[in-house]
Amino acid sequence: MTQMTTPYYLIDEKRLLKNLKIIRRVREVSGAKSVLALKCFSSWCVFGLMRRYMDGTTSSSLFEARLGHEKFGKEVHAYSVGFSRQDIREVRQYADKIIFNSLSQLRSFAREVRGLNVGVRVNPGFSYSHYDLADPARRYSRLGVRDIRALRQAAGLIRGVMFHFNCENDDFTAFSKSLDRVGRIYGDLLDRLEWVSLGGGLAFTKDGYPLEKFCECLKAFSEKFGVQVYLEPGEAAITGCAELVTTVLDVVHNEVDIAIVDASTEAHMLDHLVYRTSAKIASPGPGRFKVVIAGRSCLAGDVFGQYRLKTRLKTGNVVRIADAAGYTMVKKNWFNGLPMPAICVRRLDGTVKTVRKFGYNDFIASLS
């Protein structure tokens, strides 16, 4: 592999393929279709591989819906917390299903979506999330319809519903119980519909997940209510398939060695700051040398985490930060005017290609 200039994101198609084969297995056994959640991962340089194993895309905005239509193909599910009238007039060109966040939006745009496959998001009032920030059933949540009576009254206007109530849920028992609860509460509504999306946030591609039980659960739900079940994998589709490759620029000491790399949590892995989590290090491996790995922005808290590595980091060393696909490239930004990491792909045949570089012109084009 030719030496590339850091920082760059490196997507590995072989690792991606492992997840995609599991997604295909779920469809074969359970009948549940999977649409890629573009809010998590929109790097269309690998859509050619992903479309062979997935059924389409789901979006959270007009632009994502258009991207799914133009770059992925297959089914396009278009959801938004709030559509404008202009959004609706354009998104209906791209979407196979339009999902409204509220009954008020459904009624406001009834004329524009007449004859289309329309659904609404339902908030069942319970959820699985480790973080209040990401909890769709948190107090005063604006996400989805809570009023069951109003939903029943509007059933004639819709053909499906979306329940997105999981976030990083790797507990099959918790999911199974929640799905049973959905069936008990909304069964009479589901009997009148064609499809149900169970959203994303389900870690069913994780090692050790009881996949066969998961498939049985989905199939039973589908057959009981006579609906096509959809899943919206984001992290589940791309977990473990990419790294952020960086180089150590300096090592300073303040009680502990602090290695400053040529990337930034604020600009390039923002979720770690948002959720106050530490990044995983793919290389160097674990050992006895204690070090803090930090970004080079001016933000005092721009820190990837504290680690014990097998080698003492020095200027020029390469540090590979794991799990750099989900909610990373879609959130990258120009904070501090830092160089944007290139996007590279290791294809199935082992060849590595740089598919996108960013420079000063990209920086100034994002501003005015």
Q: Does residue 3 fall inside a structural domain?
A: no
Specify the CATH number for the domain of residue 73: 3.20.20.10
What does pLDDT average to over the chain?
97
136 cis-preceded (ω within 30 degrees of 0): no
Q: Does residue 5 fall inside a structural domain?
A: no
For the segment 324-342, the average pLDDT, to the nearest whole number, is: 97
* Residue finishing a domain among 222, 238, 254: 238
Number of domains the chain is built from: 2
Q: Does residue 159 fall inside a structural domain?
A: yes
What are the tens digits of pLDDT across the range 197-254?
Answer: 999 999 999 999 999 999 999 999 999 999 999 999 999 999 999 999 999 999 999 9
Per-residue pLDDT at 1? 47
Asked if 256 and 292 sit in the same domain, the reply is yes
Per-residue pLDDT at 235? 97
Asked if 132 and 247 sit in the same domain, the reply is no
pTM for this entry: 0.95
Residue 216, classified by CB atoms within 10 Å of its CB into exposed (0-12), middle (13-18) or buried (19+), is middle
* Residue finishing a domain among 203, 219, 238: 238
* Residue finishing a domain among 186, 203, 238: 238
Per-residue pLDDT at 122? 98
Tokens for 61?
Answer: 């905005």
Asked if 201 and 332 sit in the same domain, the reply is no
For the segment 182-208, the average pLDDT, to the nearest whole number, is: 97
Asked if 161 and 308 sit in the same domain, the reply is no
Asked if 185 and 257 sit in the same domain, the reply is no
Per-residue pLDDT at 112? 95
Asked if 285 and 212 sit in the same domain, the reply is no
What are the tens digits of pLDDT across the range 39-48?
Answer: 999 999 999 9
**Domain interval for residue 308:** 240-365
Q: Does residue 357 fall inside a structural domain?
A: yes
Q: Does residue 8 fall inside a structural domain?
A: no
Q: Does residue 187 fall inside a structural domain?
A: yes
Asked if 212 and 277 sit in the same domain, the reply is no
* pLDDT tops 90 at residue 362: yes
Per-residue pLDDT at 3? 74
Q: Does residue 224 fall inside a structural domain?
A: yes
Asked if 202 and 317 sit in the same domain, the reply is no
For the segment 288-303, the average pLDDT, to the nearest whole number, is: 98
Q: Does residue 283 fall inside a structural domain?
A: yes
Asked if 169 and 45 sit in the same domain, the reply is yes
* pLDDT tops 90 at residue 149: yes
Asked if 307 and 354 sit in the same domain, the reply is yes
